[in-house]
Amino acid sequence: MGRLLHSSFALLVFIAVALTLQSVQASDPELTKDFQVPAGINAADIDGTFFTSEALRNVTPNVASPFATVTTANLVAPAKAPFLAVDGLGVSMALLQFPPGTVNPPHTHPRGTELLFIIEGTLDVGLVDTTNKLFTNTLYKGDIFAFPKGLVHFQINKDKYKTVTALGGFSSSNAGLVRLPNTLFNTSTPISDKVLQISFGISGDVVKALRAQFA
């Protein structure tokens, strides 16, 4: 009996350690210094500009697109001037602008939780958990909504006249982005038409039409 209890306890300890390691590996690595100095840069040459990003300055939305304009400031974007100061800090940001009737289509951030803050306007949001339960709400100026890491979520501006402006904060220096419509139906995606037909219960013509939308 004692040996059985000991074995059960050891198994529980092993599971706890494994889950802890999995959690750690799924997050940004923890720094053991004040901040990460990029390769090729002399630490003595770093000043306040290193900790500053101008990526969100004077951004204007694309009013011709049906989708929200999302401008990010993280470790990899914008491509010409990534925000290198956030490397290892586990944070990043995005400016979201929703002209009337635009949507941020269903997507996920595989490496980070998102907090969305409404700066101006009214925005409808939703997320789906792993039990396929849908959570929705209407957000107003000053509201904050949490989108847990990895869960599918979306936002839409239903107003016909006003633009919505929001700020997204992420628990990763590069939270990642998987836009489901684009990922599944983009012509460059190597998922076969047959797989999509069977998975969604649609015809080959519908698959081709959807691919044409995301070419």
Tokens of 179: 């836009």
Encode burial over 40-64: b for 16+ CB neighbours within 10 A, e otherwise: eeeeeeeeeebeebebeeeeebeee
CB 86 within 8 A of CB 75: yes
Q: Is 6 annotated as a binding residue?
A: no
Q: Distance between CA atoms of 17 and 15, rounded to whole angstroms?
A: 5
Tell me: is residue 114 an annotated ligand-binding position.
Answer: yes
Half-sphere exposure of 74 (CA within 13 A, CB side): 24
Query: Is residue 153 annotated as involved in ligand binding?
Result: yes
Residue 109 annotated in ligand binding: yes
- Is position 42 annotated in a ligand binding site? no
DSSP output for 114-181: EEEEEEES-EEEEEE-TT--EEEEEE-TT-EEEE-TT-EEEEE---SS--EEEEEEESSTT---EEHH
Q: Which residues are annotated as a binding site?
A: 104, 107, 109, 114, 153
Q: Which residues are annotated as a binding site for oxalate?
A: 104, 109, 114
Q: Which residues are annotated as a binding site for Mn(2+)?
A: 107, 109, 114, 153
